[in-house]
Structure 1
Amino acid sequence: MKKIIKLICLSWLWLSFVIIFIDIAIKQTIMKNMYLHETYQLTSFLNIFYCHNYGIAFSFLDDGKIWQRWFFTIVSIIVIIFLLVISYYDYLNNKICIAYILIISGALGNLIDRFYYGFVIDFIDFHIKNSHFPTFNIADCSIVIGVILLMLKYK
Protein backbone atom coordinates (compact mmCIF):
# COMPACT_ATOMS: atom_id res chain seq x y z
CA MET A 1 0.00 0.00 0.00
CA LYS A 2 2.83 2.40 0.87
CA LYS A 3 4.37 1.97 -2.60
CA ILE A 4 1.03 2.78 -4.23
CA ILE A 5 0.70 5.94 -2.14
CA LYS A 6 4.25 6.99 -3.06
CA LEU A 7 3.30 6.72 -6.73
CA ILE A 8 0.84 9.59 -6.25
CA CYS A 9 3.62 12.11 -6.95
CA LEU A 10 4.76 10.07 -9.94
CA SER A 11 1.21 10.17 -11.26
CA TRP A 12 1.64 13.93 -11.73
CA LEU A 13 4.57 13.46 -14.14
CA TRP A 14 2.23 13.91 -17.10
CA LEU A 15 1.91 17.54 -16.01
CA SER A 16 5.66 17.91 -16.25
CA PHE A 17 5.70 16.62 -19.82
CA VAL A 18 2.87 18.98 -20.80
CA ILE A 19 4.62 22.03 -19.31
CA ILE A 20 7.97 21.17 -20.87
CA PHE A 21 6.35 20.50 -24.26
CA ILE A 22 4.47 23.82 -24.21
CA ASP A 23 7.58 25.69 -23.07
CA ILE A 24 9.78 24.20 -25.79
CA ALA A 25 7.13 24.56 -28.52
CA ILE A 26 6.57 28.26 -27.79
CA LYS A 27 10.30 28.97 -27.55
CA GLN A 28 10.90 27.24 -30.89
CA THR A 29 8.08 29.22 -32.49
CA ILE A 30 9.51 32.48 -31.14
CA MET A 31 13.03 31.63 -32.35
CA LYS A 32 11.83 30.68 -35.84
CA ASN A 33 9.51 33.63 -36.35
CA MET A 34 11.18 36.56 -34.60
CA TYR A 35 14.53 38.28 -34.61
CA LEU A 36 16.47 38.61 -31.38
CA HIS A 37 15.15 41.65 -29.43
CA GLU A 38 12.13 41.96 -31.72
CA THR A 39 8.89 42.98 -29.99
CA TYR A 40 5.35 42.04 -30.89
CA GLN A 41 2.67 43.94 -28.96
CA LEU A 42 -0.25 41.79 -27.79
CA THR A 43 -2.01 44.28 -25.50
CA SER A 44 -1.27 47.64 -23.90
CA PHE A 45 0.50 45.80 -21.05
CA LEU A 46 1.83 42.61 -22.66
CA ASN A 47 4.42 42.10 -25.38
CA ILE A 48 6.20 39.15 -26.87
CA PHE A 49 9.84 40.20 -26.66
CA TYR A 50 12.41 37.65 -27.83
CA CYS A 51 15.60 37.76 -25.78
CA HIS A 52 18.35 35.53 -24.41
CA ASN A 53 18.97 35.25 -20.67
CA TYR A 54 22.47 34.09 -19.76
CA GLY A 55 21.81 34.56 -16.05
CA ILE A 56 19.21 33.28 -13.65
CA ALA A 57 16.01 34.60 -12.08
CA PHE A 58 15.10 37.60 -14.22
CA SER A 59 18.57 38.02 -15.74
CA PHE A 60 20.47 38.13 -12.45
CA LEU A 61 24.18 37.55 -13.26
CA ASP A 62 23.45 37.99 -16.97
CA ASP A 63 26.90 38.91 -18.26
CA GLY A 64 27.26 35.89 -20.57
CA LYS A 65 30.39 34.36 -19.04
CA ILE A 66 30.98 30.73 -20.04
CA TRP A 67 31.38 29.57 -16.43
CA GLN A 68 27.81 30.67 -15.76
CA ARG A 69 26.36 28.28 -18.32
CA TRP A 70 27.90 25.26 -16.66
CA PHE A 71 27.48 26.51 -13.10
CA PHE A 72 23.75 27.17 -13.60
CA THR A 73 23.39 23.85 -15.42
CA ILE A 74 24.93 21.96 -12.50
CA VAL A 75 22.88 23.91 -9.95
CA SER A 76 19.69 23.14 -11.92
CA ILE A 77 20.49 19.43 -12.00
CA ILE A 78 21.18 19.40 -8.25
CA VAL A 79 17.89 21.24 -7.51
CA ILE A 80 15.92 18.86 -9.74
CA ILE A 81 17.41 15.79 -8.04
CA PHE A 82 16.85 17.33 -4.60
CA LEU A 83 13.18 18.06 -5.38
CA LEU A 84 12.65 14.56 -6.80
CA VAL A 85 14.02 13.05 -3.59
CA ILE A 86 11.92 15.35 -1.38
CA SER A 87 8.77 14.68 -3.40
CA TYR A 88 9.32 10.95 -2.93
CA TYR A 89 9.14 11.41 0.85
CA ASP A 90 6.37 14.03 0.86
CA TYR A 91 4.01 11.92 -1.19
CA LEU A 92 0.79 12.14 0.83
CA ASN A 93 -0.15 15.66 -0.22
CA ASN A 94 -1.25 16.21 -3.82
CA LYS A 95 -0.78 19.98 -3.55
CA ILE A 96 2.85 19.49 -2.54
CA CYS A 97 3.41 16.96 -5.31
CA ILE A 98 1.99 19.39 -7.87
CA ALA A 99 4.21 22.18 -6.49
CA TYR A 100 7.31 19.99 -6.81
CA ILE A 101 6.34 18.89 -10.32
CA LEU A 102 5.79 22.53 -11.39
CA ILE A 103 9.19 23.60 -10.05
CA ILE A 104 10.93 20.57 -11.56
CA SER A 105 9.21 21.14 -14.92
CA GLY A 106 10.27 24.78 -15.04
CA ALA A 107 13.81 23.93 -14.03
CA LEU A 108 13.96 21.25 -16.75
CA GLY A 109 12.56 23.61 -19.38
CA ASN A 110 15.23 26.19 -18.64
CA LEU A 111 17.91 23.53 -18.20
CA ILE A 112 17.21 22.22 -21.71
CA ASP A 113 17.70 25.75 -23.10
CA ARG A 114 20.86 26.37 -21.11
CA PHE A 115 22.37 23.02 -22.06
CA TYR A 116 21.41 23.21 -25.75
CA TYR A 117 21.88 26.95 -26.45
CA GLY A 118 23.98 28.24 -23.56
CA PHE A 119 21.20 30.64 -22.51
CA VAL A 120 17.50 30.62 -21.64
CA ILE A 121 14.99 31.93 -24.15
CA ASP A 122 12.65 34.53 -22.61
CA PHE A 123 9.73 36.21 -24.32
CA ILE A 124 6.92 37.31 -21.96
CA ASP A 125 7.16 41.06 -21.34
CA PHE A 126 4.66 42.61 -18.92
CA HIS A 127 4.79 46.37 -18.63
CA ILE A 128 2.94 49.40 -17.37
CA LYS A 129 3.65 52.28 -19.69
CA ASN A 130 7.47 52.35 -19.84
CA SER A 131 8.06 50.29 -16.69
CA HIS A 132 8.85 46.72 -17.71
CA PHE A 133 8.87 43.65 -15.50
CA PRO A 134 11.87 41.42 -16.34
CA THR A 135 11.17 39.22 -19.35
CA PHE A 136 10.39 35.58 -18.58
CA ASN A 137 9.00 32.37 -20.12
CA ILE A 138 6.56 29.49 -19.47
CA ALA A 139 9.16 27.54 -17.46
CA ASP A 140 9.62 30.54 -15.17
CA CYS A 141 5.84 30.76 -14.68
CA SER A 142 5.79 27.09 -13.72
CA ILE A 143 8.54 27.63 -11.13
CA VAL A 144 6.81 30.67 -9.62
CA ILE A 145 3.44 28.91 -9.35
CA GLY A 146 5.14 25.90 -7.74
CA VAL A 147 6.95 28.08 -5.21
CA ILE A 148 3.70 29.91 -4.37
CA LEU A 149 1.97 26.56 -3.75
CA LEU A 150 4.82 25.52 -1.44
CA MET A 151 4.64 28.82 0.44
CA LEU A 152 0.89 28.42 0.91
CA LYS A 153 1.41 24.92 2.25
CA TYR A 154 4.16 25.85 4.72
CA LYS A 155 2.89 29.23 5.93
Structure 2
Amino acid sequence: MPPRSSASPSLAQWLLIATLIIVADQFTKILVIGAFQLGDARPVTGFFNLVRAHNYGAAFSFLHTASGWQRWFFLVLGLAAAAFIIWMLRRHGQQRLFAWALTLILGGALGNVIDRAIHGYVVDFIQLHAGGWYFPAFNIADSAITVGAVLLIVDELRRVRRG
Protein backbone atom coordinates (compact mmCIF):
# COMPACT_ATOMS: atom_id res chain seq x y z
CA MET A 1 0.00 0.00 0.00
CA PRO A 2 1.43 3.41 -0.93
CA PRO A 3 2.43 5.73 1.89
CA ARG A 4 -0.18 8.29 2.90
CA SER A 5 0.60 11.93 2.50
CA SER A 6 -0.87 14.44 4.89
CA ALA A 7 -3.17 15.57 2.04
CA SER A 8 -4.72 12.10 1.67
CA PRO A 9 -8.10 11.80 3.33
CA SER A 10 -8.19 9.32 6.18
CA LEU A 11 -10.77 6.61 6.70
CA ALA A 12 -12.32 8.82 9.40
CA GLN A 13 -12.86 11.62 6.88
CA TRP A 14 -14.59 9.27 4.41
CA LEU A 15 -16.74 7.87 7.22
CA LEU A 16 -17.68 11.41 8.29
CA ILE A 17 -18.89 12.17 4.76
CA ALA A 18 -20.90 8.92 4.72
CA THR A 19 -22.39 9.90 8.08
CA LEU A 20 -23.46 13.29 6.70
CA ILE A 21 -25.24 11.50 3.84
CA ILE A 22 -27.00 9.23 6.32
CA VAL A 23 -28.07 12.20 8.46
CA ALA A 24 -29.42 14.13 5.44
CA ASP A 25 -31.25 11.01 4.22
CA GLN A 26 -32.81 10.21 7.59
CA PHE A 27 -33.71 13.84 8.30
CA THR A 28 -35.58 14.22 5.01
CA LYS A 29 -37.37 10.92 5.57
CA ILE A 30 -38.48 12.07 9.04
CA LEU A 31 -39.86 15.25 7.48
CA VAL A 32 -41.78 13.25 4.86
CA ILE A 33 -43.16 10.80 7.44
CA GLY A 34 -44.34 13.75 9.54
CA ALA A 35 -45.95 15.68 6.68
CA PHE A 36 -47.36 12.97 4.39
CA GLN A 37 -49.62 9.97 4.65
CA LEU A 38 -48.69 6.92 2.59
CA GLY A 39 -49.63 7.64 -1.03
CA ASP A 40 -49.83 11.44 -0.64
CA ALA A 41 -48.28 13.49 -3.45
CA ARG A 42 -47.63 17.22 -3.71
CA PRO A 43 -46.55 18.77 -7.01
CA VAL A 44 -43.45 20.95 -6.72
CA THR A 45 -42.82 21.62 -10.42
CA GLY A 46 -44.25 20.32 -13.67
CA PHE A 47 -41.86 17.36 -13.51
CA PHE A 48 -41.21 16.85 -9.79
CA ASN A 49 -43.51 15.74 -6.96
CA LEU A 50 -42.91 15.08 -3.29
CA VAL A 51 -44.62 11.81 -2.38
CA ARG A 52 -44.64 9.25 0.38
CA ALA A 53 -44.02 5.74 -0.80
CA HIS A 54 -42.84 2.63 1.02
CA ASN A 55 -40.56 0.22 -0.79
CA TYR A 56 -40.43 -3.24 0.75
CA GLY A 57 -38.12 -4.45 -2.01
CA ALA A 58 -34.93 -3.13 -3.55
CA ALA A 59 -34.23 -0.95 -6.60
CA PHE A 60 -37.36 -0.36 -8.68
CA SER A 61 -39.34 -2.36 -6.08
CA PHE A 62 -37.54 -5.62 -6.90
CA LEU A 63 -39.03 -8.30 -4.58
CA HIS A 64 -41.54 -5.73 -3.24
CA THR A 65 -44.30 -8.33 -3.03
CA ALA A 66 -42.25 -11.12 -1.42
CA SER A 67 -43.56 -12.50 1.86
CA GLY A 68 -41.35 -10.43 4.19
CA TRP A 69 -38.05 -12.32 4.09
CA GLN A 70 -36.65 -9.65 1.74
CA ARG A 71 -36.51 -7.16 4.63
CA TRP A 72 -33.86 -9.25 6.40
CA PHE A 73 -32.12 -10.25 3.18
CA PHE A 74 -31.63 -6.63 2.06
CA LEU A 75 -30.72 -5.54 5.59
CA VAL A 76 -27.97 -8.19 5.85
CA LEU A 77 -26.85 -7.50 2.27
CA GLY A 78 -26.58 -3.77 3.06
CA LEU A 79 -24.54 -4.41 6.20
CA ALA A 80 -22.25 -6.83 4.36
CA ALA A 81 -21.77 -4.30 1.55
CA ALA A 82 -21.00 -1.60 4.14
CA ALA A 83 -18.36 -3.77 5.79
CA PHE A 84 -16.75 -4.50 2.41
CA ILE A 85 -16.81 -0.82 1.43
CA ILE A 86 -15.18 0.22 4.71
CA TRP A 87 -12.47 -2.38 4.11
CA MET A 88 -11.97 -0.98 0.58
CA LEU A 89 -11.83 2.59 1.88
CA ARG A 90 -9.21 1.56 4.42
CA ARG A 91 -7.06 0.13 1.64
CA HIS A 92 -7.75 2.66 -1.15
CA GLY A 93 -8.82 5.87 0.62
CA GLN A 94 -6.03 7.81 -1.08
CA GLN A 95 -7.64 7.20 -4.51
CA ARG A 96 -9.96 10.18 -4.33
CA LEU A 97 -12.51 9.45 -7.07
CA PHE A 98 -12.76 5.79 -6.11
CA ALA A 99 -13.11 6.69 -2.42
CA TRP A 100 -15.78 9.31 -3.17
CA ALA A 101 -17.73 6.68 -5.09
CA LEU A 102 -17.46 4.17 -2.26
CA THR A 103 -18.35 6.78 0.35
CA LEU A 104 -21.52 7.82 -1.48
CA ILE A 105 -22.56 4.19 -1.88
CA LEU A 106 -21.78 3.51 1.80
CA GLY A 107 -23.85 6.45 3.05
CA GLY A 108 -26.75 5.55 0.79
CA ALA A 109 -26.69 1.87 1.63
CA LEU A 110 -26.66 2.53 5.37
CA GLY A 111 -29.41 5.14 5.04
CA ASN A 112 -31.66 2.52 3.51
CA VAL A 113 -30.51 -0.17 5.96
CA ILE A 114 -31.64 2.07 8.82
CA ASP A 115 -35.10 2.32 7.23
CA ARG A 116 -35.35 -1.45 6.85
CA ALA A 117 -34.29 -1.97 10.47
CA ILE A 118 -36.72 0.62 11.87
CA HIS A 119 -39.72 0.40 9.54
CA GLY A 120 -39.34 -2.82 7.56
CA TYR A 121 -39.35 -0.78 4.33
CA VAL A 122 -37.52 2.11 2.73
CA VAL A 123 -39.21 5.52 2.67
CA ASP A 124 -39.11 7.08 -0.82
CA PHE A 125 -40.29 10.62 -1.54
CA ILE A 126 -38.78 12.06 -4.71
CA GLN A 127 -40.85 11.48 -7.83
CA LEU A 128 -39.87 12.68 -11.30
CA HIS A 129 -42.30 12.60 -14.21
CA ALA A 130 -42.86 13.88 -17.72
CA GLY A 131 -45.55 13.40 -20.33
CA GLY A 132 -47.51 10.89 -18.24
CA TRP A 133 -44.36 8.81 -17.51
CA TYR A 134 -43.40 8.46 -13.84
CA PHE A 135 -39.98 7.36 -12.65
CA PRO A 136 -40.19 5.19 -9.51
CA ALA A 137 -39.99 7.24 -6.31
CA PHE A 138 -36.58 7.38 -4.64
CA ASN A 139 -34.75 9.15 -1.80
CA ILE A 140 -31.44 10.81 -0.94
CA ALA A 141 -29.83 7.46 -0.11
CA ASP A 142 -30.79 6.12 -3.54
CA SER A 143 -29.41 9.27 -5.15
CA ALA A 144 -26.09 8.87 -3.31
CA ILE A 145 -25.86 5.22 -4.40
CA THR A 146 -26.57 6.18 -8.01
CA VAL A 147 -24.02 9.00 -8.09
CA GLY A 148 -21.50 6.68 -6.40
CA ALA A 149 -22.10 3.99 -9.04
CA VAL A 150 -21.60 6.54 -11.83
CA LEU A 151 -18.35 7.69 -10.20
CA LEU A 152 -17.18 4.05 -10.00
CA ILE A 153 -17.75 3.72 -13.75
CA VAL A 154 -15.94 7.00 -14.45
CA ASP A 155 -13.06 5.92 -12.20
CA GLU A 156 -12.75 2.59 -14.01
CA LEU A 157 -12.88 4.25 -17.44
CA ARG A 158 -10.12 6.64 -16.37
CA ARG A 159 -8.09 3.74 -15.02
CA VAL A 160 -8.45 1.81 -18.31
CA ARG A 161 -7.50 4.89 -20.31
CA ARG A 162 -4.34 5.38 -18.25
CA GLY A 163 -3.45 1.68 -18.54
Please report the TM-score for the alignment, with normalisation by the length of structure 2: 0.89
Runs of 4+ off more than 2 Å: 1-10
Give a deviation string over 1:9-51, Cα, whole Å, max 9, x none. 4322221121111111110010011110000100000001101
Whether contact under 8 Å (1:9, 1:98) holds in the other structure is: no
Shift of 1:144: 0.5
* Aligned counterparts of 2:17 and 2:94: Cα–Cα separation in 1: 18
* Aligned counterparts of 1:144 and 1:9: Cα–Cα separation in 2: 22
Structure 2 residue identity aligned to 1:119: Y
Shift of 1:7: 5.5
Number of residues of Structure 1 aligned to a counterpart in Structure 2 = 155
Query: What secondary structure is seen at the aligned counterpart in 2 of 1:92?
Result: coil
Corresponding residue number in structure 2 for 1:38: 40
Query: What secondary structure is seen at the aligned counterpart in 2 of 1:154?
Result: helix
* Aligned counterparts of 1:17 and 1:92: Cα–Cα separation in 2: 19
Structure 1 residue identity aligned to 2:154: L
Structure 2 residue identity aligned to 1:87: L
Whether contact under 8 Å (2:11, 2:89) holds in the other structure is: yes
Whether contact under 8 Å (1:125, 1:132) holds in the other structure is: yes
* Aligned counterparts of 2:83 and 2:24: Cα–Cα separation in 1: 22
Q: Which runs of 5+ in 1 are unaligned?
A: none
Corresponding residue number in structure 1 for 2:110: 108
Corresponding residue number in structure 2 for 1:57: 59
Q: Which runs of 5+ in 2 are unaligned?
A: 158-163
Whether contact under 8 Å (2:9, 2:94) holds in the other structure is: no
Corresponding residue number in structure 2 for 1:83: 85
Corresponding residue number in structure 1 for 2:156: 154
Corresponding residue number in structure 1 for 2:161: none
Whether contact under 8 Å (2:105, 2:144) holds in the other structure is: yes
**In the alignment, which of 18, 22, 25 is matched to residue 24 of structure 2?**
22
Query: What secondary structure is seen at the aligned counterpart in 1 of 2:61?
Result: coil
* Aligned counterparts of 2:62 and 2:68: Cα–Cα separation in 1: 15
Shift of 1:92: 2.3
Query: What secondary structure is seen at the aligned counterpart in 2 of 1:37?
Result: coil
CA RMSD of aligned residues (A): 1.7
**In the alignment, which of 98, 101, 109 is matched to residue 99 of structure 1?**
101
